[in-house]
């Protein structure tokens, strides 16, 4: 997997899963955001995450979508 997308209530957290994913993200974000991207601390609105996902998929990257996690017993 090259990019991981974690859904939350109103946003999608983005985390690179490979060097290919990180390099691809660096072509889409300014250098001042690269350390946040590398640490998986960037969140996007769902519409923007969808557009980014479509672009990444078209570029041949492997994406993984994970639902928001909830504490045990809080479903």
Give residue-wise pLDDT tens across range 41-62.
999 999 999 999 999 999 999 9
Residue 67 falls within a domain, yes or no? no
Tally the domains of the chain. Answer: 1
Residue 41 falls within a domain, yes or no? yes
Q: Would you state the pLDDT for residue 60? A: 97
Q: Would you state the pLDDT for residue 8? A: 81
pTM: 0.81
State the pLDDT confidence band at 10, using cuts at 50, 70 and 90: confident
Residue 33 falls within a domain, yes or no? yes
Residue 65 falls within a domain, yes or no? no
Residue 20 falls within a domain, yes or no? yes
Range of the domain at 15: 3-59
Query: Rounded CA gap, 16 and 22, in Å?
Result: 5
Residue 27 falls within a domain, yes or no? yes
Residue 68 falls within a domain, yes or no? no
Q: Which residues contact residue 17 at a Cβ distance below 8 angstroms, ignoring those fewer than 6 apart?
A: 1, 2, 3, 4, 62, 64
């Amino acid at each position: 997997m090259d990019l991981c997308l974690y859904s939350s209530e109103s946003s999608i957290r983005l985390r690179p899963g490979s060097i290919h994913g990180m390099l691809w993200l660096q072509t889409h974000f300014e250098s001042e955001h690269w350390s946040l991207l590398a640490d998986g601390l960037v969140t996007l609105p769902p519409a923007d995450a969808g557009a980014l996902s479509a672009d990444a998929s078209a570029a041949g990257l492997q994406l993984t979508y994970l639902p928001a996690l909830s504490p045990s017993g809080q479903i």
